[in-house]
Amino acid sequence: MTPTKHCTQCGTCCRKGGPALSREDLDLVRQGYIRHDQLVTIRHGELGYNPGTDRLEPVPVELLKVRGKGGGWTCLFFNEAHNDCAMYAHRPATCRILQCWQPEALLATIYQNTLRRADLINPNDPILAEIERHEQACPGRVFSDLLAQNGETADLARLTELVQADLDLRAEIAEKTGISPELEFFLFGRPFFKQLAGSGIESVAVGGEIRLERRKKQG
């Protein structure tokens, strides 16, 4: 069978997740082709998928990615009905570089020249102080390290504290500023409780608060 050497529009890459933005994509945001509320921040130290190693690992830089659809990662701009892109003419640099049959060029750009939240926010905007407050109270790397340990009761208690602190701070800032839930994903990244998927730990709401529990093994 002859290996594919061109795009067949199978949609596999788009279903694996929206692209991370580089500084080359700054004008796409400034000109409105990509809105802030269509982005999700993967914070420094948060677990993220690395296509170079094909595994989840703490990301060494802050990333801005095009959000997924619903609860999944399929790119927001992917048209399922026709297997095409709703913004192909203005697609991000990652999408232009990608050649699934020859991925070396794309892999060489991972974590390089990435856009950050501060690149897209007016330096005088008070929301920057709220972002920094969230970073200090809910550091992504600490959460990732605790998830990796996933053993001691003390770790579970600390994870619970971080999940609750993350939710409380988001709610406080949203009430004060009126930001939408969609914009929250850009400003503060994914809530910690959404990062528990696949960890063997689940969150349970009890009396208006969050409790983390290890899933019981079946059988």
Task: Write out pLDDT tens, residues 148-183.
Answer: 886 566 688 899 999 999 999 999 999 999 999 889
In the chain, where the domains are located: 12-118, 122-214
Alpha helices per DSSP H over the chain: 12-15, 26-30, 93-97, 104-107, 127-137, 140-149, 153-177, 181-188
pLDDT in tens, 126-150: 999 999 999 999 999 999 999 888 6
How many C-beta neighbours within 10 Å does residue 102 have? 10
Average pLDDT over all residues of the chain:
89
Burial (CB < 10 A; 0-12, 13-18, 19+), residue 10, is exposed
pLDDT at residue 1, as a whole number: 42
Q: Are 66 and 184 in contact (CB under 8 A)?
A: no
**Considering the entire predicted model, what is its pTM?**
0.89
Per-residue confidence at 88, pLDDT binned at 50, 70, 90? very high
- Check pLDDT > 50 for residue 76: yes
Following DSSP, what letter does each residue of 95-122 receive, concatenated?
A: HHH--TTSTHHHHTTTTSSB--GGGGS-
pLDDT band at residue 191 using 50, 70 and 90 as cut-offs: very high
- What pLDDT is recorded for position 100? 76
Q: What is the pLDDT of residues 10-29, one digit of tens each?
A: 878 888 889 999 999 999 99
Burial letters for 122-145: b for 16+ Cβ neighbours within 10 Å, e otherwise? eeeeebeebbeebbeebbbeebbe
Q: Tokens at residue 154, please?
A: 């003390």
Which of helix, strand or coil describes residue 93? helix
How many angstroms separate the CA atoms of 127 and 91, rounded? 28
Both tokens of 159, joined, read 């994870």
Q: Residue range 193-204: average pLDDT? A: 87
Q: Which residues does residue 49 pair with via DSSP β-bridges, in sequence order?
A: 56
Q: Which residues pair with 213 in a beta bridge?
A: 202
> 206 pLDDT exceeds 50?
yes
- pLDDT value at 2 more than 50: no
- The length of the chain in residues reads 219
Q: Which of 121, 50, 63, 128 is nearest to 92 (CA)?
A: 63
pLDDT at res. 53: 85
pLDDT of residue 166: 96
